[in-house]
Amino acid sequence: MVIITNKNKNMKKTGFNLLVFVFVLMMMGTFLNPSMSVAATDSDLITPVQMGVLATIAINCDASVTMNAITGTGQSTIDANNRALCNVQTNNSAGYKLEWQASSATMISGDDTIAAYTPAVADTPETWSIGATTSEWGAHVGSGSTTVNTTTWGAADTYAGGKWLNVGTSAFQIASRSDETTWAGDDEYVYFGAQVGSTKLQPTGTYAVNVTVTATTL
């Protein structure tokens, strides 16, 4: 019995030595093999990354508009001379609104004035029509504008085919867009016109008024 016990002890000792030898070989392989790597991934954790981009808007309009003179009675000519081109650029996904505002309700030349156009229904664009004894000026959003609503402003850039409105002394929304523009921006055209009635004596001169066109993000 004693011999059998001694043999079991020797077998256990030999097995232990072999296990240590294999472990040493594994550790040596870790240092000798540079391509071996260890990685750990936690798929349960999702980290949201958020980055805010500020809304920007820019508008660039022609510096000035000079309408053709009216000889006696009648209407000023509708052409590129009395048209302002405004380019609007924005990255705002909700778009922008376009407004106009006059510094005065009248165009002035010395002591003489031309009154603002008066539509039959307030703040409603309409085909140009004034009385014989009056002189008035107004504006029209061009049919070539990116955001123009032809139902509101008409489909033609003429007195008869377009629809005109006074430019008030408080800001008035004339167009809107519901998304961002392209990199090149939107082209917005505003035509200005004046008319002297058939029996109105309007003194000659250069009549002037300042009109501000503003683009605001929505």
CATH of region 57-217, choose from 2.60.40, 3.40.1350, 2.40.320, 3.90.930: 2.60.40
Q: Is 105 exposed, middle or buried (0-12, 13-18, 19+ CB in 10 A)?
A: middle
Q: Is 193 exposed, middle or buried (0-12, 13-18, 19+ CB in 10 A)?
A: buried
State residue 88 phi and psi, 5-degree precision: -115, 130
Indicate the pTM of the whole model. 0.76
Question: Which DSSP helix (H) or strand (E) runs through 17?
Answer: helix 2-32
* Pair 212, 174: CB distance under 8 Å: no
Q: Is 73 exposed, middle or buried (0-12, 13-18, 19+ CB in 10 A)?
A: middle
For the cut 90, the answer to whether the pLDDT of residue 4 exceeds it is no
Average pLDDT value for residue range 66-71: 88
pLDDT band for 34, please (50, 70, 90 cuts): low
Please write the tens of the pLDDT for every residue from 100-119: 999 999 999 999 999 999 99
pLDDT band for 43, please (50, 70, 90 cuts): low
State residue 187 phi and psi, 5-degree precision: -100, 125
State residue 165 phi and psi, 5-degree precision: -150, 155
Please write the tens of the pLDDT for every residue from 119-174: 999 999 999 999 999 999 999 999 999 999 999 999 999 999 999 999 999 999 99
Domain boundaries, the chain: 1-34, 57-217
For 45, residues 6+ apart whose C-beta sits below 8 A from its C-beta are: none
pLDDT band for 45, please (50, 70, 90 cuts): low
Give me the pLDDT at residue 138, please.
97
Residues 158, 42: Cα–Cα separation, whole Å: 69
pLDDT band for 31, please (50, 70, 90 cuts): very low
B/e letters for 153-168, b = 16+ CB within 10 Å, e = fewer, are bbeebbbeebbbbbbe
DSSP secondary structure string for all residues of 45-102 = ------------EEEEE-S---PPPP-SSEE---SGGGEEEEEEEE--TT-EEEEEEE
For the cut 80, the answer to whether the pLDDT of residue 18 exceeds it is no
Give me the pLDDT at residue 16, please.
36
